Amino acid sequence: MPSPAEATMGAAEKINMARCRLIQRAPFYGYMLNYFRTVKPGTKPVRTMAVWVERSGRPVLGYNPEFVDKLSVEQCLTVLRHEVQHILNLHHLRARIYGDDAMTNHAAINWAMDAVIHGHRSCPHLEGIAGDPLLERASVFLPEELPARIGFEQLLDNLPRISFDELLKELLAIRRGERRSLHTIWGTVPIWLEGDPTALIDRLMDHAVWIDSPDERTHSRIIYRIIIKTLRQVPGQAPGEVDRCLKALAEPRVDWRQALRNLIGRHLGGRRPTYARPNRRRQTFGVKGHSRHALADVLVLVDVSGSIGGNELRRFFTELESMSQLIRIRLLSFDFQVREKADEPLRIYRRGDWQDLVFTGWGGTSFQNAFEWVDSRRLWARYNIVLTDGYADWPVGFDEIPLLWCITASGRKDAPPFGECVRLA
């Protein structure tokens, strides 16, 4: 709770004082935050506090005055350190591969990002959070049975998708004593709950401000420049995670999501005539309009030989789902042979169907068998995508098929002999 003197401070003044104390105690964090412009209250719908990079390239620290008014300067300092940890862990960039909807609606991804920052409740990574009732009520922690340094993606792989509304219902049920934990929906990962569960939901939902950001390359360059400038101001004062952050930012990367969109758009772009949408120029009965909705079929062949993990599947299908208005996806799974029943039509892919894919784990993969199965039934679509690690003999005799290979980051390094290729790096 704020002291009587702190209670008379304005929110902006309290944040500035917390920044000054942070410069004294943890210089790297304090100086780094000096490159973030504090926005006027109400500029973005921030429920607690958040950092982001605007499309113009300006780094921003946003806050909710009502939330800051409840904090002491020490508590405000802890929250600021939390926000810098998101930057150093590159959560604002790593979260984007799961799509905008993940940050605005899916509690799992937001829970995982905060939990890896906080660590275990008995011995948290974030200094100042232990024993503070207000901050603990608005925080989530790693279960004691999980490693203290578990990665964000590792934790996320254990969590099913759940909306914030569903999470709030579960938390309220725990509060009423109807349940003891979230084991029913979170697998074996429980969640701590004290006080008002809406405080926790508010904390998690602030990651949504990261959506309205520049492209990944620009975003990475801005953060890289800020960290380098900070290191020059406080030589020898950098925390250990800075080296990992700089290495990740300096790695040349190709935005495979944009490449995937460009390739599909190039092959399937255009519009189709339809009577469902009237012609806006000629409002005459019988004159067709045009639509880009569900423009063409795409056949997706997924290698389920056990070499592709759930995280890679999620990233891949999240991107395809975002393009579902332009394409109609038919799904086929294979390893050494096709796993679909020969006498049944291929199913039309619906949002979230990737979670139902079964990994048989046989280990063997045959592109040739899968391609011949599709060819014999004349199932090739206008555009065809293969999701695989590439560890099998390339197929022969299908050079004319419009094809895109999506090869996982840990997959085969040499390029396929035909078709186009992106790597899910």
CA gap 252, 268 in Å, rounded: 29
Give the domain extent around 340.
256-424
Count of domains in the chain?
A: 2
On whether the CB atoms of residues 115 and 59 are closer than 8 A, the answer is: no
**Confidence bin at 294 (pLDDT 50/70/90):** very low
Asked if residue 117 has pLDDT above 60, the reply is yes
Per residue in 96-111, pLDDT (tens digit) is: 766 666 677 778 788 8
Domain co-membership, 202 together with 296: no
Give the relative orientation of helices 256-268 and 310-322 as an angle to the nearest 10 degrees.
40
Together in a domain, 55 and 14 = yes
Do 39 and 85 belong together in one domain? yes
Residue with tokens 């360059």: 221
* Buried residues in 48-61 as b, exposed as e (16+ CB within 10 A): bbbbbbbeeeebbb
Residues 148 and 71 in one domain: yes
Question: Is residue 268 located within the same domain as residue 360?
Answer: yes
Whether residues 103 and 242 fall in one domain:
yes
* Backbone phi and psi for residue 226, each to the nearest 5 degrees, phi listed first: -65, -45
pLDDT score for 293: 47
Residue 44 has what pLDDT? 67
CATH number, domain with residue 304: 3.40.50
Both 205 and 290 in a single domain? no
Average pLDDT over residues 15-31: 93
**CA atoms within 13 Å, Cβ hemisphere of 240:** 1
Q: For residues 424 and 209, what is the distance between their CA atoms, to the nearest angstrom?
A: 25
- Are 276 and 229 in the same domain? no
Q: Are residues 180 and 228 in the same domain?
A: yes
**Summary mean pLDDT of the chain:** 78
- Tell me which of 250, 268, 286 is where a domain ends: 250
d(CA 330, CA 381): 9
- Tell me the pLDDT tens digit for each residue of 156-186: 766 766 777 888 887 777 777 776 666 555 5
233 and 319 inside one domain: no
Considering the chain, what percentage of its residues have pLDDT values greater than 90?
Answer: 16
- pLDDT for 22: 93
Same domain, 346 and 215: no
Could you report the per-residue pLDDT of 231-260, keeping only the tens digit for each?
999 988 888 888 888 887 876 455 566 666
List, for residues 376-410, the tens digit of each pLDDT value.
988 998 888 898 888 888 999 998 888 888 888 77
Judgement on whether residues 125 and 73 belong to the same structural domain of the protein: yes
